[in-house]
Amino acid sequence: MNPRSSFTPLTGSEYDTAITLLVESGFDPGEFVLEEQRFEAQADSRVPHVSKLVSVIRLAIGLHLRYTAGNAGTWPCEFERDLRCGTYGDLAVTAANHGAHSPPPRTW
């Protein structure tokens, strides 16, 4: 079985938050794959709660990070911190892939 087969696309307000963070940080959201894997976990109190992993892949540089999320839902804060700290690489990769910093054509 493929270990990624249980991941599904991230949706809803968490997806919207992640896209907003990417855009505000200057990244092209099209370079990222945002997925989640939900699973039931038994808490110490014996009350079941839903936990999940959020998978973020930056295709341009092949970086893949996973964030844990539970009832507190703090993964967006960790994701924002990683974007600010440069964990997802330089914006120049984005610009180079889209030609934003290409020199003008030379006229000979």
Which segments of 38-99 does DSSP mark as H helices, in order?
A: 75-85, 91-98
Q: What per-residue confidence (pLDDT) applies to 78?
A: 94
The closest alpha carbon to 79, from 59, 60, 54, belongs to 54
- Torsion angle (degrees, nearest 10) of CA 9, 18, 58, 103: 130
For residues 27-51, average pLDDT: 78
Nearest-angstrom CA–CA distance, 93 and 97? 6
Task: Give me the chain's average pLDDT, please.
Answer: 80
For residues 23-46, average pLDDT: 84
Please identify, in words, the CATH class of the domain defined by 8-93: alpha beta
For residues 58-81, average pLDDT: 88
The alpha carbons of the chain give a radius of gyration, in whole angstroms, of 17
For residues 58-85, average pLDDT: 89
How is the chain split into domains, by residue range? 8-93
Total residue length of the chain: 108
